Structure 1
């Protein structure tokens, strides 16, 4: 779906990626990010959020916590991130973003609470009293008071399998009192996930019961005499849902795929955000009427189901007008994705080294792919400022390796 979207709404990015791969600036097994479009998307989200008084925390896991991506959205006005886990928060911090939220979806392990506290997160989600005590103690030791969000759940709420957990929503007033009593912490509000999801029958994003659970809990807290209650409402976030979330009482939103125009809603409707991510590979070899294409990042987020996959193969020396649109057999989910197999029975000129471009909804952080921002697509002068590993760190390059000593990096070199 997203390859068709790229071809229609951002063909210049496809062309730039093909040229940059051909020149050796974009490697195979790499998620490329159109930073010009990311900036425009982030600006649109920031502007609409400001109109509704919403705090915005960026989710960066889907693009591998790419530091150039982080710097781009910061310049566009989204200055804080949500760390889906502690590693995500650390990468975002190193990428120049403040930490707006930790602990959700993944709680902070007990011996790493001090590390999380050192990041001075604006909000820290806890699922139970034990985790609240750990967060409070670490924050007190760091000399600060931590605002805690309580993850809550009620009968009928919707969770992805393996995401369950939290305080009973009907006990939220007592929970808030207990969190306030912890030295080094204070109760700040409530959260859940997902609070909205794409409904394929309706063709749009709709609230889940979780959002009403948050709203009911906030009402109970206000009735008990509490004032400002933060309502953190993540899930399928784009400009199109911010008004609905504000009307429901949300105060914090966490766009992720909205920043790259790859939410499920973007797949079927032209929303404000434009597509800004693609996967770059190349043909390794030919066998049996198929082109074997390098993998490593062929994890397709299954939120839209596992449908057929297609790719563009751009022959060496050619452009998009010369590209072949081919069907691709992806590796089975239980297999290691060394290669995908493209049917080139009707693409006789395909050869090893040709560029292969995919458009799908990524989750780069669970892969062994690289990520790279691309600047200048809109001005016609595309360039790659850096290539990064899927955890946001810099991958090794040839000049980092001293073949005489087997040392890595400048500190390991010997004269």
Structure 2
């Protein structure tokens, strides 16, 4: 889906990725990051967030919590992360980002709460129920501080991905806030949901969900109850051009993820200020039955898109030429993606060892892929900075 955008908007990145793979400097089965572009994208998002008075936290899971990615984001002016789980918190903290938001989407396990508080002291900690609020507050008390708690809220008509459900009834938000303030080690800081924005396939636009209206109404209730400075955390499909809509709806916090590497769904259909900065690189292993089999492990087709003709650039030298494009069959999610099958018909049949480059709206943290950070592409001097696993830990590649 994003390969055409990459070819048009960041061709030097593709060429650099192919060259580095041809030279044996990056492995097959790698999400490769253009760190110069990530830094520039972060600066665009931070500038707009500052203009609107929004706190901004970087989501890193889509690129495997890569340390070089976190450091590029930091150079771009964003100094805090949102940790979708404890693995994100550990990786981003280790990479130098402050943990700005913990507990959303995945709640912190009971016996990790004290360690999370002591180690990270997150600015905000989302909880879905009273038990989780008590655990977070107890951890903060043991660490000697008072934790800002965000209540995940829900109302009739809200949208949640299957398996993401949970939270307090929005109608009870005033009572929830009071209960948080009674916790020793905790205080009520605000409210959150996910997703606040969603890409609509029919209109090819990003539209507010009912969840965002739920947040706005709940914030009004809290203000009428005498609370001021209520934090409204509104993540989902975040790019710089959408921050105004979030601010207009009363949001005080935003959490760009795919926006930092130019791969939100809207980036696939519109040229936004952020440029694409991630591609997936692998190589042809063998030919069989008219197909060229390329090594897998990192294939992820985001279900936000309908089925489409997946294509790759397959070449033995740096190129973005249309003649290098080939259709690819990727195994369904029910199968292990040891390989994907590239059409090997027509002239210029792929050869074992050829490089294959894909453009995905990836979720590297749920794959077996390497994550490779490359600097200097904008200067014509590409340099591999990191080769890591999906936990942001260094890999001893090729051994």
TM-score per shorter chain, which class?
over 0.9
Cα 1:318/1:107, change in 2 over 3 Å: closer
Question: Whole-Å Cα distance in 1 between the matches of residues 58 and 287 of structure 2?
Answer: 41
1:296 matched to 2:297? The reply is yes
The question of whether the paired residues in 2 share the 8 Å contact of 1:58 and 1:256 is answered with yes
Q: 1:408 maps to which residue?
A: none
Which blocks of at least 5 consecutive residues in structure 1 are unaligned?
A: 400-415
1:275 matched to 2:288? The reply is no
Instruction: Describe the SS at the equivalent of 1:16.
Output: helix
Q: 2:130 maps to which residue?
A: 129
Question: Whole-Å Cα distance in 2 between the matches of residues 319 and 230 of structure 1?
Answer: 47
Deviation, 1:398, is 5.7
Cα RMSD, aligned residues only: 1.2
Deviation, 1:380, is 0.8
Question: Whole-Å Cα distance in 2 between the matches of residues 114 and 359 of structure 1?
Answer: 40
Residues 78-111 of structure 1 show CA distances to partners (whole Å, capped at 9, x for unaligned) of 0000000111111110111000000001000000
Question: Whole-Å Cα distance in 1 between the matches of residues 340 and 165 of structure 2?
Answer: 34
Question: Whole-Å Cα distance in 2 between the matches of residues 127 and 222 of structure 1?
Answer: 21
Deviation, 1:307, is 2.2
Q: TM-score, normalization: structure 1?
A: 0.94
Deviation, 1:322, is 8.7
Where do residues 2-401 of structure 1 align in structure 2 (5 Å cutoff)?
2-118=2-118, 119-315=120-316, 317=317, 319-321=319-321, 324-397=324-397
Question: Whole-Å Cα distance in 1 between the matches of residues 341 and 219 of structure 2?
Answer: 51
Question: Whole-Å Cα distance in 2 between the matches of residues 319 and 11 of structure 1?
Answer: 8
Residues 90-147 of structure 1 show CA distances to partners (whole Å, capped at 9, x for unaligned) of 1110111000000001000000001211201000000000000000001100111000
Residues 324-370 of structure 1 show CA distances to partners (whole Å, capped at 9, x for unaligned) of 21000001110000000000112434211111000011000000100
Question: Whole-Å Cα distance in 2 between the matches of residues 284 and 183 of structure 1?
Answer: 59
Question: Whole-Å Cα distance in 2 between the matches of residues 80 and 130 of structure 1?
Answer: 26
Instruction: Describe the SS at the equivalent of 2:57.
Output: strand
Bigger mean CA offset, 348-357 vs 19-28: 348-357
Residues 20-41 of structure 1 show CA distances to partners (whole Å, capped at 9, x for unaligned) of 0000111100000011111111
Which blocks of at least 5 consecutive residues in structure 2 are unaligned?
A: none
Instruction: Describe the SS at the equivalent of 1:275.
Output: coil
Deviation, 1:202, is 2.2
The question of whether the paired residues in 2 share the 8 Å contact of 1:313 and 1:323 is answered with no
Cα 1:347/1:96, change in 2 over 3 Å: farther
Question: Whole-Å Cα distance in 2 between the matches of residues 2 and 397 of structure 1?
Answer: 27
Deviation, 1:395, is 1.4
Question: Whole-Å Cα distance in 2 between the matches of residues 271 and 97 of structure 1?
Answer: 26
Instruction: Describe the SS at the equivalent of 2:105.
Output: coil
Deviation, 1:308, is 2.1
Deviation, 1:318, is 5.8
Q: TM-score, normalization: structure 2?
A: 0.98
Question: Whole-Å Cα distance in 2 between the matches of residues 156 and 69 of structure 1?
Answer: 36
Q: 1:402 maps to which residue?
A: none
Cα 1:177/1:322, change in 2 over 3 Å: closer
Question: Whole-Å Cα distance in 2 between the matches of residues 95 and 70 of structure 1?
Answer: 6
Name segments (4+ residues, structure 1) moved above 3 Å.
317-323
The question of whether the paired residues in 1 share the 8 Å contact of 2:7 and 2:320 is answered with no
The number of residue pairs the alignment matches comes to 398
Question: Whole-Å Cα distance in 1 between the matches of residues 287 and 398 of structure 2?
Answer: 28
Instruction: Describe the SS at the equivalent of 1:130.
Output: helix
Deviation, 1:321, is 4.2
Question: Whole-Å Cα distance in 2 between the matches of residues 75 and 319 of structure 1?
Answer: 30
Deviation, 1:201, is 2.1
